[in-house]
Structure 1
Amino acid sequence: MTVEIELRAARVRYGPLEALHGVDLAAPAGLLTVLLGRNGAGRTTTLRALAGAVPLAAGRVVWGGVEVTRLPAYARARRGLAFVPDQRAVFGTLTVAENLELACPGGGSAGAAMPFPELSPLLSRLAGTLSGGEQRMLAVSRALLSPASLLLLDEPTQGMSPAAAARTHALLARACGDHGRTVVIAEQRLPPGLRRAVSVVHELRRGAVVFSGEPAER
């Protein structure tokens, strides 16, 4: 199994507090990986470390066999990484269409390409005026419409209706199976709709990995 991206002995500190304690974990290429854990377990920090949104105090980030520890977030994005954070994941002062255009210049707002048809009548609305669930749909759409080969998403279905959440899970599974992308998501619990699609689960607790393996092994 080829590894797409991994953390090796990664430590992250926020001031005097250490959020990750020598974390080792890997996401296999072209498959779906889920980071599980309660709030404060280190899931969000792990995703941010992979994306380059927070620096490592120690350890390494290796992507495609190349160390990218010191590569800034914007450079990782240019290299093919799309990151959907848990908050402020859209440009609130831009319209929905403009947000999509940034992700996919020249075709992002085309209705036929819209991952979520619910957004089609909202293209002229400012993204900051959307509901929480609509903003998550927009953020996920931007990642899916981008040319990125590696997608990192922090609680992508937060605030969505059950139907929209189910569609999100199907789209993320398809991004791996049909399009060969690598997807890593962070969730508090393993979504039932993703159980069959997930290849690897890493469970974190208090900044450390306490389990790594297939979902059936938990």
Structure 2
Amino acid sequence: MTVEIELRGARVRYGPLEALHGIRLPVPARTLTVLTGRNGSGRTTALRALAGTVPLAAGQVVWRGADVTALHADERARRGLCFVPDLRAVYDSLTVAENLELAASEGDFGPALEGYPALGPLLGRRAGTLSGGEQRMLAVSRALLSPARVVLVDEPAQGMSPPVAARTYELLRALDAAVVIAEQRLPPGVRSGQRPVVVHELRRGSLVFSGEPAELPPPQEPASSPR
């Protein structure tokens, strides 16, 4: 598979703490890549490093063979990278319609309403008054409206009901882009489907698994408490 963008020997530090320990993370073109790991594993930091919202202490970000490590996040966005963070992903003071208009490249936000019909009745509402799941739908809509080559989404289904979450993963998998999502664990339903899926598990800033969903060991059931 052709690599669209990748981290090479990436180290990220927050003060004295190192969040990524020199990882190599290739993102294949037109593939769904899932970064899994517990909170504090480095999955969010890996997304931010790709997006350019945190600087590398060492290593490179390489996009289609070009070193873009020094490019700021806004420059990467102009080149075709869409980043949907887990927090502060919508403009609270703007209406839903205004948020969508800003995200739509030509002002047409119809694809967002096709993906999430529930947003239609909310167009006049300010984004800050929406529920957590509604805000997440609005945030993920940015990826549906952007003609991006790379789409990075941190916890796309946070706060959503199971049916809406399943719909969200379908929408992201259908994008004609290299899509990377960060989740604590592999989402249900991602193992099946036609589009290639790559999984990377991070633990304390290091990669401990890279492969296909079928290669993952089955999740362990929690031990029952003695009676």
TM-score when normalising by structure 1 = 0.94
The 3 A distance-change label for structure 1 pair 191 and 88 is same
Following superposition, the deviation at residue 199 of structure 1 comes to 1.8
Counterpart of 1:91, as a letter, is: Y
Q: Given the alignment of the two structures, is residue 187 of structure 1 paired with residue 183 of structure 2, yes or no? A: yes
SS in 1 for 2:115: coil
CA distance in structure 1 between the partners assigned to 2:112 and 2:129 by the alignment: 24
RMSD between superposed Cα atoms in Å: 1.3
Counterpart of 2:86, as a letter, is: D
**Matched ranges for 1:53-202 at <5 A:** 53-110=53-110, 113-175=113-175, 180-197=176-193, 199-202=197-200
CA distance in structure 1 between the partners assigned to 2:182 and 2:123 by the alignment: 28
CA offsets, 1:97-122, max 9 Å, x none? 11111111444333785320000010
1:207 maps to what in 2?
Answer: 205
- Structure 1's unaligned 5+ residue stretches are none
CA distance in structure 2 between the partners assigned to 1:155 and 1:123 by the alignment: 23
Following superposition, the deviation at residue 174 of structure 1 comes to 1.2
Counterpart of 1:146, as a letter, is: S
**Structure of greater Rg:** 2
The 3 A distance-change label for structure 1 pair 136 and 187 is same
CA offsets, 1:15-47, max 9 Å, x none? 111100001111100110000100000000000
SS in 1 for 2:189: helix
Q: Given the alignment of the two structures, is residue 51 of structure 1 paired with residue 51 of structure 2, yes or no? A: yes
CA distance in structure 2 between the partners assigned to 1:151 and 1:167 by the alignment: 17
**Matched ranges for 1:16-31 at <5 A:** 16-31=16-31
Is the deviation greater in 201-210 or in 143-152?
Answer: 143-152
Following superposition, the deviation at residue 196 of structure 1 comes to 2.0
Q: 1:86 touches 1:155 (CA, 8 Å); kept in 2?
A: yes
Moved over 3 A (4+): 105-114
Q: 2:109 touches 2:145 (CA, 8 Å); kept in 1?
A: no
CA distance in structure 2 between the partners assigned to 1:133 and 1:155 by the alignment: 12
- Structure 2's unaligned 5+ residue stretches are 217-227
CA offsets, 1:165-213, max 9 Å, x none? 01101111111xxxx3110000111011211245211100000001111
CA distance in structure 2 between the partners assigned to 1:199 and 1:167 by the alignment: 17
The 3 A distance-change label for structure 1 pair 24 and 112 is closer
CA distance in structure 2 between the partners assigned to 1:170 and 1:109 by the alignment: 19
SS in 1 for 2:50: helix
CA distance in structure 2 between the partners assigned to 1:4 and 1:90 by the alignment: 27
Give the number of equivalent residue pairs. 214
CA distance in structure 2 between the partners assigned to 1:33 and 1:111 by the alignment: 23
Q: 2:112 touches 2:144 (CA, 8 Å); kept in 1?
A: no
